[in-house]
C-alpha cells in the first residue's frame, strides 16, 4: 500500500472509530419506500453532504461542553477518554440516518438514541452553584444539543462552504425536523429564533474542570501523525466561528497557525479540500440514499425510468 492509499485509509478510519472498512449501515440507506425528510436539493442535504460538517462537529462539541448538565452526562457516562473517536462515529451515524435515510429509518434511529438517553442521568452543579438532577432525556438538554448542532452547521458552512439553498433560515427550518424526531417541542425555524433560543441559555452556561478536561480531548484527539496539522487547522477554524461570549467562557482564543503563511479561512478550506480528495466526491451513505430516491421516484412515475 502506497503512502497516499495509507493516508486515505487512515482518514476514513478516523470517522469510523478505527474500522478500515466502510460500515455496513451506510449501505442500508438504499432501503426504504420514500424520499426521506430531506430531498437531494434541500438545504440540509446540501450542508451535510459538503465537507464543512468536519469543522461543525468540532464546534458543536466545544459549545455543548458549556452546559453543565450536558457536560455531566458526557463526563460520567461517555467513554470519550478511552474512545473519543467512538462518540464521533455514533454522532455521525445518527446525523447520516436522519439526513439520508427514509422516514422510517430516521424515526427508528432517533428512537434508538432516545432510549439510550433514558439511561443517562445523575446530578450536576449548575451555574449558580446548586446541585441539580439531570437526565439526557430532559427537554432542556435535548434543546441545547439541537441548538449547538444547528448553530455549528450553519456557522461552519457560512464561513467555509458554499451557498445554502434558501439561506440559513431554510436550513434551520428544515433541521427542526431532527429536533422533533428527538422529542423537542418548538425547535427554532429561522436564524433569528436560533439566536434567541441560544441566548436564553446564557445564564446556564459555565466553565469548569470537566469542561477543561473535555477540551484537552477535543483539542488533541488521538489522530495519526499525518492528520495532526490538518486537525490543528480545523480546530482553529471551529474556534474562530464561535460567538465571542462562548469563546471567552471556554477560555479560548482564536489559535495562531504559527509559521503557516495562510490566514485561517483559506487554510481551513485547503484542509477541507484535502479531506474531500481523500474521502472521495460522494460517500457511500449519500450514494445509497440517491439510489433509494431514484427507485422511489421511478415507482411513482414509471415514465421516469
User: What DSSP assignment string belongs to 40-90?
Assistant: TTSHHHHHHTSSTHHHHHHHHHHHHTTSHHHHHHHHHH--TTT-HHHHHHH
Distance from C-alpha of 65 to C-alpha of 145, rounded to nearest angstrom: 10
Are 284 and 22 in contact, with CB atoms under 8 Å apart?
yes
Are 241 and 159 in contact, with CB atoms under 8 Å apart?
yes
At 75 the pLDDT is 73
Would you state the torsion angle of the CA atoms of residues 17, 18, 24, 25, taken in this order, to the nearest 10 degrees?
Answer: 10
At 22 the pLDDT is 74
Please give the model's pTM, rounded to 2 decimal places. Answer: 0.89
C-alpha cell at 63: 459549545
Residue 213 resides in a domain: yes
At 5 the pLDDT is 63
First to last CA, the chain: 41
Distance from C-alpha of 193 to C-alpha of 285, rounded to nearest angstrom: 31
At 158 the pLDDT is 97
Q: Which residues have CB under 8 Å from 243's CB, separation 6+?
A: none
C-alpha cell at 120: 443517562
In a 3-state reduction of DSSP, which class is residue 14?
helix
Distance from C-alpha of 275 to C-alpha of 8, rounded to nearest angstrom: 9
Residue 152 resides in a domain: yes
Residue 302 resides in a domain: no
At 166 the pLDDT is 97
At 3 the pLDDT is 64
Residue 303 resides in a domain: no
At 139 the pLDDT is 93
Residues of the chain with pLDDT under 70: 1-21, 76-88, 258-262, 300-305
Residue 304 resides in a domain: no
Residue 305 resides in a domain: no
Burial class (CB in 10 A: 0-12, 13-18, 19+), 180: middle
Domain that holds residue 267: 3-295
Number of domains in the chain: 1
Residue 301 resides in a domain: no
At 260 the pLDDT is 62
In a 3-state reduction of DSSP, which class is residue 104?
helix
At 188 the pLDDT is 98
At 255 the pLDDT is 75
Residue 220 resides in a domain: yes
Amino acid at each position: 500500500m502506497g503512502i497516499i492509499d495509507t493516508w486515505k485509509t487512515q482518514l476514513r478510519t478516523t470517522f469510523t472509530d478505527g474500522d478500515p472498512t466502510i460500515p455496513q449501515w451506510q449501505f442500508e440507506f438504499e432501503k426504504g419506500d420514500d424520499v426521506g425528510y430531506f430531498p437531494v436539493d434541500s438545504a440540509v442535504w446540501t450542508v451535510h453532504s459538503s465537507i464543512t460538517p468536519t469543522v461543525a462537529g468540532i464546534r458543536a462539541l466545544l459549545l455543548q461542553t458549556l452546559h453543565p448538565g450536558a457536560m455531566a452526562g458526557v463526563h460520567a457516562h461517555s467513554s470519550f477518554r478511552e474512545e473519543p473517536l467512538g462518540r464521533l462515529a455514533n454522532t455521525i451515524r445518527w446525523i447520516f440516518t436522519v439526513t439520508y435515510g427514509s422516514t422510517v429509518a430516521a424515526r427508528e434511529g432517533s428512537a434508538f438514541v432516545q432510549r439510550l438517553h433514558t439511561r443517562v442521568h445523575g446530578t450536576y452543579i449548575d451555574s449558580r452553584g446548586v446541585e441539580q438532577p439531570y437526565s439526557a432525556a430532559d427537554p432542556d438538554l435535548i434543546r441545547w444539543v439541537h441548538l449547538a448542532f444547528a448553530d455549528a452547521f450553519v456557522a461552519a458552512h457560512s464561513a467555509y462552504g458554499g451557498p445554502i439553498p434558501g439561506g440559513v433560515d431554510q436550513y434551520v427550518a428544515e433541521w427542526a425536523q431532527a429536533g422533533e424526531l428527538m422529542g423537542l417541542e418548538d425547535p427554532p425555524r429561522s436564524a433569528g429564533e436560533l439566536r434567541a433560543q441560544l441566548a436564553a441559555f446564557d445564564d446556564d452556561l459555565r466553565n469548569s474542570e470537566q469542561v477543561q478536561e473535555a477540551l484537552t480531548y477535543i483539542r488533541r484527539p488521538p489522530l495519526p501523525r499525518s492528520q495532526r496539522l490538518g486537525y490543528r487547522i480545523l480546530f482553529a477554524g471551529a474556534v474562530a466561528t464561535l460567538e465571542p461570549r462562548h469563546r471567552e467562557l471556554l477560555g479560548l482564543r482564536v489559535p495562531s497557525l504559527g509559521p503557516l503563511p495562510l490566514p485561517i479561512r483559506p487554510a481551513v478550506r485547503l484542509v477541507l479540500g484535502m479531506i474531500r480528495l481523500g474521502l472521495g466526491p460522494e460517500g457511500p451513505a449519500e450514494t445509497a440514499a440517491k439510489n433509494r430516491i431514484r427507485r422511489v421516484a421511478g415507482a411513482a412515475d414509471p415514465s421516469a425510468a
